[in-house]
Structure 1
């Protein structure tokens, strides 16, 4: 069977966790392929709300295998805590597989992340300080430690102590607290014992599932505009968040890919630093934040909010090859009398529909807005396309037209039952 990919098409926080949860009704395996526990995927089932950081969102479906792929950087202590928390809530974590090729995050990476941000001044990225960047840097420097080493403590311990000592030297030079290597090793050793039985070569297990005709869904984290290559560099994450990252981050050949699902919010948000052409600083922006509950699932930080940016979203959909759009949080716009969409950028008097690579140009953007009439009625009870008011349908059609894709799913609330196929 072919593989489907689901990715975010903005700056993350589009609602991927919920859509993955909905789509897993029909799949056998969900594979996370990049990022780390800087992601926060929220799933609401009935009155219960769950937030996942490393575990794939298919964990709430019985019989679905959940794979943490080789493209991730994994904090073993955080993953252990997350899995134990899920198990305590009655879900089966035995179906979780951890790639033996995934890189590991340790406490020294998190401290280095804090150090990097503190010294960046006005150029700080606004990271979650979870050690993601330093861990990916170690991977590229070829001094990282991989999950395969969790299965061999006698090999893991000297590696860990060597790298921790190197970081302690760095911390000493900058006058910050040294890592207690002995105490931290005890935490790592305990996590290693818990995770070792889950460590395997997921490239083989994923491809074996493909040969057996299983349905596989690849779950992205963050969003396309945070991609290390295609995003608003340097205000990006440290991995490839676009659909192409699924092949390398999971070990799947491109010919197996069928559909690219793009999760897209009915407006635009961003967490952290970096340019945001349609950001609102008025009552409308605050209304989007409060009604949409726009606070980070991982950090609790308030998200920056703005009108839908079709220029940025079109670029993301093009790079991702999106052929199925899943629009979330349409209901947040229910009370607006009129709603704007950014259809072009004005940069130094020049009009363009292309998303610039230059941060200086993005920071100088004046959004060219197109205003559409709102619907000013509740959509949260809609269960099909025809249940939506005409102005809401027209708004969605205009979104799809501008990003050159087709709407396949609409979400009008946080729960599973507030999502319908188009």
Structure 2
């Protein structure tokens, strides 16, 4: 049975939670493999909306085991707040598994994130201030705190915290004029979560590989998206991890030979949160219409999203780099009511046409979109359940995007509800 990756193909917020939910009870494991609580998934079930920032969106699937992999950075206070909120709504979260190798977001990571972003001024990246970047930085610098460290001796944990905050305290005091961080207080806070966390801690690579060996379906949920990847995204305006398909392997300990499908999620238009290039961005009434009609406000931050028309170059680049077998197109219903719909099919950069995303970041920042006008439709498509239910113009729009992106569109979201989807090809 397959290992399936579901990941974003634009700049995040594409609706990965909805696509994950479409696989329903045929999934045995749902695994978060990157990012932290800077991400946000929204799933609507029976008219109720569930927003998850750290837990896998598939935790709402009662038959699947939810897993947080080693590639995720975990804010334990957020983890338990999120779990408790779901418990209050009757969701069973007792089967959650957490990698012993996952790194922990400590209080000093949040502090460093906020002060450095504030002092960056015009050079700010647009982080969420959740401490994600500083935690990954400590991980690479080999001074990070991992889940397993909470179950070592208090003395060893204290020594690791001291090593992690030594240089940070120098910066806080001498550069940012802030109070030094006390190791004792950090240790106390971290250990306050240990007893509740311990039953969840697991050798997740062995758990998942044994599941695949037994014929189980493992769904890997990416946070953010391809163009926010630290290696392949619009650097430096990126996240600090690898939400790409390759990140699913390093972030879980499952090898690439175990992956059968890579499903790229694409919104029927384009959005972005934070700083960075965005060629099709609309700073006009059309952009505001997309934002208002599509409810484009961040699940995690509440920030209004930047909005623009569909950029085929962005999705095509993600399809190439990740080997998409399928695309799931979300929010097609939002475009109902338009006479024509612009689709970006190329860029103009200083008079030179680019049919693919330029490799030079400066060229991307200077790109002017070249649009193709596609006929729109006025019918309400929220009740469509088959491709034939869609108006001819909507079907033609989907087919044109499929041609431009170079991967088959196998599913379409036509509303926020779990049942509001058109499936063209089975995702398993």
Task: Name the counterpart of 1:133.
Answer: 133
Q: Note the C-alpha offset of 1:98.
A: 0.6
Q: CA deviation at 1:164?
A: 3.6
Compared CA separation, residues 340 and 418, structure 1 to 2 (3 A): same
* Residue 203 of structure 1, aligned match among 198, 202, 205: 205
8 Å contact 1:340–1:370 — kept in the other structure?
yes
Of 288-297 and 84-93, the range deviating more from structure 2: 84-93
Q: What TM-score, normalized to structure 1?
A: 0.97
Please give the per-residue CA displacement for 1:203-236, whole angstroms capped at 9, x wherever unaligned: 1111111111111110001010101111100000
**Larger displacement relative to structure 2 (356-365 or 196-205):** 356-365
Shift of 1:181: 4.7
Match of 2:54 in 1: 54
The count of residues paired between Structure 1 and Structure 2 equals 422
Structure 1 stretch displaced more, 243-252 or 190-199: 190-199
For residues 72 and 379 of structure 2, what CA distance do their matches in structure 1 show?
42
- Equivalent position of 1:300 in the other structure: 302
Are the structure 2 counterparts of residues 194 and 44 from structure 1 closer, same or farther at C-alpha, using a change threshold of 3 Å? same
User: What residue is the counterpart of 2:21 in the other structure?
Assistant: 21
Q: Give the equivalent residue in structure 1 for 2:265.
A: 263
Contact 1:77 / 1:188 at 8 angstroms: preserved in 2?
no
3-state SS, counterpart of residue 245 of structure 2: coil
* 2:87 partner SS: helix
Cα distance 1:83–1:90, how it changes in 2: closer, same or farther (>3 A)?
same
1:169 aligns with 2:170: yes
Unaligned stretches of 5+ in structure 2? none
Counterpart position of 1:324: 326
- Are the equivalent residues in 2 in contact too, given 1:36–1:53 (CA < 8 A)? yes
Question: Could you list the runs of 4 or more consecutive aligned residues of structure 1 that deviate by over 4 angstroms after TM superposition?
Answer: 180-184
Contact 1:132–1:238 (8 Å) recurs in 2:
yes
Mark the CA change 1:262 to 1:311 in structure 2 (over 3 Å): closer, same or farther.
same
Give deviations 1:234-261, integer Å, cap 9, x for gaps. 0001111111111111111111111110
Q: Contact conserved, 2:39 with 2:300, CA < 8 A, in 1? A: yes
Q: Is the Cα contact below 8 Å between 1:150 and 1:195 reproduced in 2?
A: no
Shift of 1:119: 2.3
Q: How many angstroms does 1:153 deviate by?
A: 5.5
Kindly indicate whether the alpha-carbon contact (under 8 Å) linking 1:77 and 1:187 is maintained by their aligned counterparts in 2: no
Query: Of residues 409, 412, 415 in structure 1, which corresponds to 2:411?
Result: 409
1: CA distance between counterparts of 2:81 and 2:159? Answer: 24
| Distance in 1 between residues matched to 2:161 and 2:142, nearest whole Å | 14
Structure 1 stretch displaced more, 47-56 or 267-276: 47-56
Asked if the contact 2:346–2:370 (Cα under 8 Å) also holds between the matched residues in 1, the reply is: yes
1:348-367 equivalences under 5 Å are: 348-367=350-369
Partner of 1:109: 109
| Equivalent-residue separation in structure 2 for 1:99 and 1:324 (angstroms) | 29
Cα distance in 2, alignment partners of residues 166 and 78 from structure 1: 26
Gaps of 5+ in 1: none
Give the stretch that moved more between structures: 110-119 or 368-377. 110-119
User: What are the equivalent positions in structure 2 for 1:183-332 lying under 5 Å apart?
Assistant: 183-332=185-334
Q: How does 1:4-83 map to 2 (within 5 A)?
A: 4-83=4-83
- What is the rounded CA distance, in whole Å, between the counterparts of 1:264 and 1:157 in structure 2? 45
Change (3 A) 1:189 1:153: farther
TM-score by length of 2: 0.96
Encode CA deviations 1:101-130: one digit per residue, 9 max, x unaligned: 111111111111112212222221101111
